[in-house]
Structure 1
Amino acid sequence: MVTASFRFYEELNDFLAPARRRREFTVRCARAATTKHMIEALGVPHTEVELILLNGESVGFGALLREGDRVAVYPRFEAFDITPLLRVRDQPLREPRFVADCHLGSLARLLRMMGFDTLYEKAFADAEIERIAATQGRIVLTRDRDLLKRRSITHGCYVHALRPQLQLREVLERLQLARGARPFTLCPACNAVLQPVAEARVEHRLPPGVRGLYHRFGTCDACGRVFWEGEHWQRLRALVDAPR
């Protein structure tokens, strides 16, 4: 056994036992323990970590811990560029695509409304989510920290908020996605691409209160639904654009 000291920063403290939050603490580790093993043993999913300093030097998840080591663990940085220091993953995902767990169906729908490719099925098991994330290069969205600890999941986001609209803002802010939003391009119901369509072609399928009031429409070839850019999209845009 070896003894090492840990200090976690900012929102990573939410995963720790109360007595260990926002302070340095010492724990006993297995002799062959890595930084990843101990970080997750303390309750923090590796997907939440952006930078690890071992005795002041940036290291990866595979660094072995030795007697007396001091480990500082940081979440995603927004104030400055730490790219030259990164050791925990090879590269970010350039085009963010998501897979959401069974608790985040409403969030998945809102992300699709903002134009972000998001897979969701209530029946998805954890193993299936892990497979999809690994084979399709998707970011896992979940409120289950154990899911984010699975070995092959390299990009994930633990969602803290409980209400769907607040969850959307949290994900957009944390991953800095607002500029990449493309509202009214994906089907909220099934994630397929919406096809623009003239009002005259779908007028017979519209509720009476919609006819003549909205003028931008889209159809989904996959599920057959018709959508219009109404108040629901406008409220969503206002939520994203609201002052922080």
Structure 2
Amino acid sequence: MPTLHLRFYEELNDFLRPEQRKTEFLHTLNRNASVKDVIESLGVPHTEVELILVNGVSVDFSYAVQDNDRISIYPQFESLDISPLLRLRDKPLRQPRFVVDSNLGRLARYLRLLGFDCLYRNDYRDVEVAEIANRQRRIVLTRDRLLLRRKIITHGYFVRASLPREQVKVILRRFDLYRAVKPFSRCMRCNSVLVDVNKKQVLERLEPLTREHYRDFKRCDRCGQVYWRGSHYDRAQLLLKELIESEPD
């Protein structure tokens, strides 16, 4: 039976048993397996992995492991250019777009507030999330490890934080999204892009005080929701400042 020498790095250790974390350990197989099979059998979703080195050489998920292989598994690198080494994904996602599972509704709203294309419904089934991610080339955000193990999902992230604001900060750092933020550009309700509208076009939908005190409006052409810089705008600005100022130096 083949025996492997495995070492997982950084946040990938979150998925391992305590005795396997931040150290090299032996893993014995009772069948032929790909390196992807090995990684996921230990509880680590393949979507969390960015680089696999076997005996110092980069391989893809289909590599058939051999006896005495020394395997190093790395998560996404945020500051080091390793593009010449990568073998896992032929098609990087140039524009980050997300699909969020049914347990992360507040996270979805915050991402939309920041201007990110983020699909969400509170009745999404796992199979729907996976199919949307595959068909539309979206990044899956979830707290369900089993969802990320679906083969058709190529890009995903297991959201470790439990508080929505902390979740957003982690996503911004993880995918380096700070320069892509476009606040108040998407509908919080349905995710569509907002467009400027003349006040006369939405006048009949406004309360008397809103008609009197506000001049600039945006509207979602899909669901018809109207937005303006009311009292909620100041609260949203404070929230945005908190989230965006979490950018690391």
Q: TM-score, normalised by structure 1?
A: 0.93
> How many angstroms apart in 2 are the aligned matches of 1:50 and 1:128?
24
CA distance in 1, matches of 2:95, 2:44: 25
**1:233 maps to which of 228, 232, 236:** 236
CA distance in 1 between counterparts of 2:150 and 2:30 reads: 20
What letter matches 1:44 in structure 2? V
Cα distance, 1:134 vs. partner? Answer: 0.8
Q: 3-state SS of the aligned residue for 2:186?
A: coil
* Contact kept? 1:169, 1:239, Cα under 8 Å: no
- Cα 1:223/1:20, change in 2 over 3 Å: same
Shifted more, 14-23 versus 217-226: the winner is 217-226
Q: Distance in 2 between matches of 1:207 and 1:42?
A: 57
* Corresponding letter in the other structure for 1:171: I
| Closer/same/farther in 2, CA of residues 125 and 200 from structure 1, 3 Å limit | same
Contact 2:48–2:158, Cα closer than 8 Å, also in 1: yes
Per-residue deviation at 1:203?
5.5
Contact 1:100 1:118 (C-alpha < 8 Å) held by counterparts = yes
- Residue type of the alignment partner of 2:245: A
Q: CA deviation at 1:122?
A: 1.1
5+ long unaligned stretches in structure 1:
none
What number of residue pairs does the alignment pair up?
244
> Is this contact kept in 1: 2:35–2:63, CA < 8 A?
yes
Question: Matches of 2:100 and 2:62 in 1, distance apart?
Answer: 27
Larger CA deviation: 196-205 vs 176-185:
196-205
Q: Distance in 2 between matches of 1:48 and 1:64?
A: 20
Asked if the contact 2:220–2:226 (Cα under 8 Å) also holds between the matched residues in 1, the reply is yes
Cα separation, partners in 2 of 1:59 and 1:212, compared to 1, 3 Å: farther
Superposition misfits of 4+ residues, deviation over 3 angstroms: 198-216
**SS of alignment partner, residue 33 of structure 2:** coil
Note if contact 1:4-1:26 (Cα within 8 Å) is conserved in structure 2: yes
Q: Secondary structure at the match of 1:13?
A: helix
Quote the sequence identity (%). Answer: 50
Structure 2: 5+ residue stretches without partners? none
| Cα 1:40/1:210, change in 2 over 3 Å | farther
TM-score normalised to structure 2 length? 0.91
1:92, CA displacement in angstroms? Answer: 1.4
1:182-197 matches, within 5 Å, as 182-197=182-197
CA distance in 2, matches of 1:85, 1:192: 37
What's the RMSD between the two structures over aligned residues?
Answer: 1.8
Change (3 A) 1:209 1:14: farther
Say whether 1:78 aligns with 2:62: no
Distance 2:44 2:187 in 1: 34
Amino acid of the structure 1 residue aligned with 2:72: A
